Amino acid sequence: MRGIVAAAVGTMALMGGAVQAATPRDALVMAWNLDALITFDPAQIAEVNGNDIIRNVCEPMVNYDLKDTSKIVPGTVAKWAVSEDGLTLTMTLRDDLKFPSGKKATAQDAEWSLHRAVMLGFGNAANITEWGFNKDNIATTIKATDEHTLAFKLDRPYPVGLLLSAMFASGSTGILDREEGTKNAKVTEGKSDYGNAFFKTAPVCVGPYRVTRWNTNDVVILERNDNYYGEKAKLRRVIIRHVPESGAQRLLLEQGDIDVARLLGTDDLKALAANVAATVAIEQTVMHGYSYLAFNGLDPILGNPKVREAFRYLIDYDGLAKTILEYQGAPRASLVPRGAFGALDAADGQPFKLDLERAKALLTEAGFPNGFAKKFILSANSFSPAVAQHVQSNAAKIGVTLQLEQMADAQLFTRARSREFEVLLIGWGAGYPDAHSMISRHAVNPDNRVEAKLAQYPSWRSSWIDAKVNEMADAAKMERDPAKRITAYHEIQRYMMKSGPMAYIVQTIRPIALRKEVKDFAITPFDVAYRTATK
């Protein structure tokens, strides 16, 4: 070790003193874990990094208000109107939309972008297909009637607020350059990829930034789009570096080598708050997502609602939120997240607490006074092992033996999707701030048969189906009176807390630590606006 220190000292002397730290004045530098990022094609993006970045590159048709996510404000679409019968939606695009090249963007481009999302059929297409559009009817149901107008034919009269929030504010509605996409399309086995491979690294979009470099698992660089119609981004570049270790991110942030750290662990955040509060701020955003336990209903023991209820009393919600999950989650047991339309309030949405006696009593009622043994699978990453061991140790106190098995995320998802689990600790993020987002996947289960393979429904994964909930959810979705919709959603949430297949532990918090010289970096659950930031 001595030799190395000496060598290091020597080399530093050669280099002429200390290494200078500071990020470039006209760039926002962000550290993140970019492992999951595989594409920038808005029709395919299915993970957190891509979703976050793409909203600054491909502007959706409408936006969530950066100050109040429950409000919808115009994006590339200037105004919209619904017909009397509620079956035709007309959207008028702005007439000053331009691609980064300066070329005009039209309703034909928008039409093509929506069509291709449906035709490509990635998971993301569900944002559109859930509302009655599909590969067969899309040519007639979504049409550009002139250069600025898009007409949508709906199959049912959906509440327009829900439609705007769920479909039109989603990242899949960015306007891509049709000409570029068609020119660069790859055709295999007679099928076009609609420029999927081409847009993967360089989406040509209407938006405040454009992607100029992406080295996988290394760096993403965005440059300002000077032909953007709206207010131009303040900082010329955004540099996102792949830094997979929380500790390393923290050091970089403290040293001023980055402006924003996106993936910090609880204890690093606590230390930042304690030591460098003068230079670093921590913004916590309550997300529309959960960490939860799922139980497999096919298991004779876990299929019993009383057993599942008992598990809800094995979690020290507040204890976890104050320790392991500080900065990471807020206790919440109802499946509709706080902040979403139709959510129960904080108290009603979290009626459980750690209560071993109650749990024991419920198990006895269910017919398992002596407990049982189950396998419990979880991710090896982040806080999952600590949370799982916490649950395990409480379960042991009432005679329930949980055998933990941790694994890579990709493997965990595979196991969950194929129903190969008994107890499972996993996460989920809702796509838009409306109760329907969670309820349509976690409570509704259209078809519980194995061969239906509805793996996108956590309810199906848990083999849980309830005809009454399916009906209630459909009625609520179509209810056009907002007050009645809220009441209907409250009812579903109460029902699910009693008999649902999950035990929700916390509603996710997304902590973002940033240096105080960065101003106006607007953060909402569904949109992190690099475009407004200054420094």
Partner 1 sequence: MSAMGTWLRAEVTTSPAHARVQRAFYGWLRLRANPLAFGGFLILVGLVLVAALAPVIAPVGYNEQSLALRLRSPSAEHWFGTDELGRDLFARIVWGARITIYISTLVAVIAAPIGLAVGTTAGYFGGWTDTVLMRINDMFLSFPGLILALGFVAALGPGIGNAVIAIALTAWPPIARLARAETLTIRASDYIAAVRIQGAGPLRIILRHIVPMCVPSVVVRITLNMAGIILTAAGLGFLGLGAQPPTPEWGAMLSTGRQNMLGAWWIAAVPGIAILITSLAFNLFGDGLRDVLDPRSE
Partner 2 sequence: MLAAAWQVGSVAVTLFGLLAITFFMGRLLPIDPVISIVGEQADKATYDMVYHRLGLDKPLAMQFLLFVGDMLSGEFGDALFTGNKVAVDLGRVFPATIELATFAIIIGVGVGVPLGVLAAVYRGSLLDHVARFVGLLGYSSPTFWLGLMGLIVFYATLRWVGGPGRLDVAFIDSIEPRTGLILLDAALEGEWEVFANAFGHIVLPGSILGYASLAYISRMTRSFMLEQLGQDYIIAARAKGMSRWRVVRRHAFRNIRVQLLTVIALAYAFLLEGAVLTETVFAWPGFGRYLTSGLLAGDMNAVLACVLIIGIIFVSLNLIADALYRLLDPRTR
The contact set with partner 2 (CB under 8 A) reads: 1-4, 7-9, 11-12, 15-16, 18-19, 21-24, 27, 29, 35-36, 38-39, 46-47, 121-126, 197, 200, 213, 215-219, 221, 239, 241-245, 247-248, 251-252, 254-255, 257-258, 408-411, 413-417, 441, 452-456
For position 273 contacting partner 1 by CB under 8 A, the verdict is no
Nearer to partner 2, 75 or 265 (CB): 265
d(CA 50, CA 401): 39
Closest separation in Å from C-beta 386 to partner 1? 5
- Rounded distance, CA 507 to CA 435, Å? 14
Q: What are the residues facing 534 on neighbouring strands? A: 519
Which residues, listed in sequence order, are joined to residue 511 by a DSSP beta bridge? 284
Q: Which residue of 212, 381, 487, 499 would you call a contact of partner 1, by CB under 8 A?
A: 381
Task: Work out how close the CB of 19 gets to partner 2 at its nearest, in angstroms, rounded to a whole number.
Answer: 5
Given partner 1, partner 2, none, residue 450, with its beta carbon under 5 to 8 Å by kind, binds none
Helix (H, G, I), strand (E, B) or coil at 519: strand
- Tell me which stretch binds partner 1 (CB under 8 A): 108-116, 224-232, 319-327, 484-492: 319-327
Cβ proximity to partner 2, 47 vs 365, nearer residue: 47
CB 334 within 8 A of CB 278: no
DSSP conformation class of 201:
H
**Amino acid code (one letter) for 409:** D
Q: Does 388 bind partner 1 (CB under 8 A)?
A: yes
90 part of the interface to partner 1, by CB under 8 A:
no
Q: How far is the CB of 123 from partner 2 (least distance, A)?
A: 3
- Could you tell me which residues come within 8 angstroms of residue 355 by beta carbon, excluding any fewer than 6 positions away? 313
Contact flag: residue 408 with partner 1 (CB under 8 A): yes
Six-digit token pair at 286?
């309550």
Tally Cβ neighbours within 10 Å of residue 484.
12
Cβ of 247: how many Cβ atoms within 10 Å?
Answer: 12
Least separation in angstroms between residue 33's CB and partner 1 is 13
How would you classify the pairing of strands 237-242 and 219-224? Answer: antiparallel
Q: What is the DSSP letter of 172?
A: G
Taking the complex as a whole, the smallest distance from the CB of residue 314 to partner 2 amounts, in Å, to 26
Distance of CA 445 to the CA centre of its chain: 21
The residue (of 219 and 277) whose beta carbon lies closer to partner 2 is 219
In whole angstroms, the minimum distance from the beta carbon of 352 to partner 2 comes to 26
> What's the min distance (Å) between Cβ of 525 and partner 1?
25
Applying CB under 8 A, does 355 fall inside the site for partner 1?
no
How near is the Cβ of 145 to partner 2 at its closest, in Å? 30
Closest CA to 156 of 110, 87, 235, 106: 87
Least distance to partner 1, CB of residue 273, Å:
11
Only segment of 11-19, 81-89, 315-323, 463-471 that touches partner 1 (CB under 8 A): 315-323
Q: Which of 281, 404, 454, 455 binds partner 1 (CB under 8 A)?
A: 404
Distance CA 518, CA 150 (A): 38
Q: Which long-range contacts (CB under 8 A, 24 or more apart) does 74-80 make?
A: 75/169, 76/105, 76/110, 76/175, 76/206, 77/150, 77/168, 80/160, 80/164
Instruction: Report the nearest approach of partner 2 to the CB of residue 485 (Å).
Output: 24
Rg (CA), the chain: 25
**Site size for partner 1 (CB under 8 A):** 33
Which partner, partner 1, partner 2, none, binds residue 381 by CB below 5 to 8 Å per kind?
partner 1
Q: What angle do CA 252, 253, 257 make, to 5 degrees?
A: 55
**What φ, ψ does residue 378 adopt, rounded to 5°?**
-160, 165
Q: What mask of x and - would describe binding to partner 1 in positions 220 to 249, judged by CB under 8 A?
A: -------------------------xxx--
Count of CA atoms in the C-beta half-sphere (13 A) of 62? 24
Closest CA to 374 of 304, 454, 441: 304
Which residue lies nearer to partner 1 by CB, 250 or 332?
250
The DSSP bridge partners found for residue 205 are 176
Q: Look at residue 1 and give the partner it binds from partner 1, partner 2, none, a contact being a CB closer than 5 to 8 Å depending on partner kind.
A: partner 2
Residues that bind partner 1 (CB under 8 A): 245-247, 250-251, 265-268, 270-271, 316, 319-320, 322-324, 380-381, 385-386, 388-390, 392-393, 403-408, 411
